[in-house]
Chains A and B, each alone.
Chain A
């Protein structure tokens, strides 16, 4: 059981470069989420999706874009990376409704220099 898979696991970018983080889940979950985790700030929601073809902004969406073209994949894009986007990024998924918990990926550690 793969669960939630994130690629890549590590990445170093130069300021101004772009990249895409991929999240894939094989549990047929409707809901998918992107969080960032920073020291002293906890986990903060960037964007989320409640189904294929839908996306919505979370708490800290600026500088990021997302797409959910297939139900099993949720992509997070950085168009012009900034040092403030240095963080650990986590993807999570869940069944729809409030009776189910989250499953998290193992994270992507991104450094922008």
Chain B
């Protein structure tokens, strides 16, 4: 059974810092990995989707990498801003009807 782990559960950083959020998964036989952002009381917004054949994806200040063999993904946020404060979830798709398995998320707080 696929398990997705995100550690730590919470992170607080000062504004302007570059930071890395980690995600690990137990079964490397994935089709893709998706990073989401969730604001308090809101739904999930897709940030980046990395196919199994890709190593990384970039969108603005965000860069996500994928290392299937080691079962790891990282989300890099450059020059963090208070508006980046949210919970970040990663999820993997093992291809069985595209059901996603989610990590529990990392709650990020960026201090002004």
CB distance from B96 to the nearest CB of A (A): 10
Q: Which of A42, A45, A58 contacts B103 (CB 8 A)?
A: A42
CB distance from A64 to the nearest CB of B (A): 16
Bitwise, B82-112 to A at CB < 8 A (1) or not (0) is: 0000000101010101111011110000000
Q: Name which residue of chain B comes closest to A41, CB basis.
A: B104
Residue count of chain A within 8 Å CB distance of chain B: 26
CB distance from B20 to the nearest CB of A (A): 21
Range, interface on chain B: 20 to 34
Q: Do residues A33 and B99 form an inter-chain contact, with CB atoms below 8 A?
A: yes
Q: Do residues A105 and B34 form an inter-chain contact, with CB atoms below 8 A?
A: no
Give chain A residues whose Cβ lies under 8 Å from the Cβ of B51: 98-99
Q: Name which residue of chain A comes closest to B101, CB basis.
A: A45
Q: Which of A31, A102, A105, A107 contacts B46 (CB 8 A)?
A: A102
Q: Name which residue of chain A comes closest to B52, CB basis.
A: A98
Q: Do residues B104 and A40 form an inter-chain contact, with CB atoms below 8 A?
A: yes
Q: Name which residue of chain B comes closest to A97, CB basis.
A: B98
* A-to-B contact residues, CB < 8 Å: 31, 33, 40-43, 45, 48, 50, 56, 58, 90, 92, 94, 96-107
- Top 9 nearest A-B pairs (CB, nearest first) are A98-B31, A106-B43, A101-B49, A42-B104, A104-B44, A43-B102, A104-B43, A42-B102, A107-B43
